Amino acid sequence: MAAVTLRRARCWCPSLLQFFRLPVAQVHLSRPAMRASQQDFENAMNQVKLLKQDPGNQVKLKLYALYKQATDGPCNMPKPGVFDLVNKAKWEAWNSLGSLPKETARQNYVDLVSSLSPSAEASSQGKHEADEKAQKSKDIVVTSEDGITKIVLNRPTKKNALTFEMYQDIILALKNASTDNSAITVFTGTGDYYCSGNDLTNFTSAAGGMEEAASKGAVVLREFVNSFIDFPKPLVAVVNGPAVGIAVTLLGLFDAVYASDKATFHTPFSHLGQSPEACSSYTFPKIMGSAKATEMLLFGKKLTAREAWAQGLVSEVFPDSTFEKEVWTRLKGYAKLPPNSMRISKELIRNNEKEKLHAVNAEECTTLKAKWLSEECINAIMNFVSRKAKL
């Protein structure tokens, strides 16, 4: 059986920003010679897209190298330039396989994927285990107290940027919260930021490159936003600091938004060569009118908390010095209201447009998938990753 041993280490390539401090994979393939069929190979490729846990960049590089070796044979590309960090790392991983035969690369790819995938038994274990996973996730902390389920974005060193794993954990946390004993569910962030939006390295660290990241991203995004559209209880955002990208657009699907006066609201989609998501192409013009929505979604105008309140995106703004105390006192009071009444009232409001929201979500995801592969977007992301430019 293939065994993957992970050890934490500083990266072998000091210039690769996002590849720093990531697990290094040592893959020992001691399995007796076997032939993986083309079908096994394709199944393994599909399995990779469904991995719930990010296997780390080193494993992803290994997967990429084995995939290229299995499909194209030995590395036949010119070595990318020294500043093309991501492609250079990929090239090196592929080139390191030398003249490994295609069949062996295919088998090693299948073995590696099967060592990463949870077994059928593990994935069919009950909800209890699912709850535990959400609770244990280090980047999303879920607690339930005083009738409130709190979902905290807990990645302050990265301004709470959302990784693929965090999207999956939030989907799970919302699923659990929809049936737990709490009356309301609240999102907030740890540290000085509420959330800096999508983790831009989601796109640069995918084993199969941008194409694979775009396909996976569109699937994950659609399911993620659906879980907000369908969430049955009052959903409240406690915006403790700046919010960027999807952290802002999602607010149009919340039932109440409370903001510190230190919070800002920024949707730099055009700067990033991207387009709006989380149904904001529908909710924002509805909330603030098309002229103001255009300033945010097309021109990337950053709003202060008071401006966002004036546009109807925020329910109320509080001085930062008393924000936490005032908001949580208020929410604890709301959580004592009859839960079924709140749920039914929300259902009445949401049912008027649920179908529309699902259709908008689907269309936005399709559009984004194409945008993520555009030159405009790839350049913007590479600029961020290589720190040449900041918003």
Judged by the rule CB under 6 A, the positions of this chain that interact with ligand LG6FSS7D are 158-159, 161, 196-202, 217, 220-221, 244-246, 268, 272, 274, 277, 384, 390-391
User: Whose Cβ is closer to ligand LG6FSS7D: residue 75's or residue 278's?
Assistant: 278
Phi, psi of 321, rounded to the nearest 5 degrees: -65, -30
User: Whose Cβ is closer to ligand LG6FSS7D: residue 69's or residue 198's?
Assistant: 198
H runs (alpha helix) in 35-126? 38-49, 57-72, 85-95, 102-116, 120-123
User: Whose Cβ is closer to ligand LG6FSS7D: residue 201's or residue 361's?
Assistant: 201
Min dist CB 263 to ligand LG6FSS7D, Å, is 13
Closest to 89 in 3D by CA, of 374, 375, 372, 386: 386
Min dist CB 213 to ligand LG6FSS7D, Å, is 8
Min dist CB 85 to ligand LG6FSS7D, Å, is 14
Tell me the CA distances in angstroms from 54 to 57, 163, 205, 231, one per residue in order. 8, 9, 10, 26
Residue type, 372: W
User: Whose Cβ is closer to ligand LG6FSS7D: residue 344's or residue 391's?
Assistant: 391
Tell me the CA distances in angstroms from 195 to 41, 191, 291, one per residue in order. 38, 10, 25
Min dist CB 160 to ligand LG6FSS7D, Å, is 8
Residue type, 331: L
User: Whose Cβ is closer to ligand LG6FSS7D: residue 131's or residue 295's?
Assistant: 295
User: Whose Cβ is closer to ligand LG6FSS7D: residue 151's or residue 214's?
Assistant: 214
- Beta-sheet strand order (sheet of 316-318): 140-145, 148-153, 184-189, 235-239, 256-260, 316-318
Min dist CB 168 to ligand LG6FSS7D, Å, is 10
User: Whose Cβ is closer to ligand LG6FSS7D: residue 323's or residue 384's?
Assistant: 384
Q: Which helix (H) or strand (E) holds 144?
A: strand 140-145
Euclidean distance between the first and the last CA atom of the chain, given in angstroms as a whole number: 47
Min dist CB 269 to ligand LG6FSS7D, Å, is 6
User: Whose Cβ is closer to ligand LG6FSS7D: residue 335's or residue 380's?
Assistant: 380
Whether the CB-CB separation of 306 and 259 falls below 8 Å is answered with: no
- Helix axis angle, 38-49 to 102-116, nearest 10°: 40
Min dist CB 264 to ligand LG6FSS7D, Å, is 10
Closest to 207 in 3D by CA, of 19, 38, 355: 19
Min dist CB 203 to ligand LG6FSS7D, Å, is 8
Closest to 64 in 3D by CA, of 164, 209, 211: 209
| Dihedral angle of Cα 320, 321, 322, 325, to the nearest 10 degrees | 90
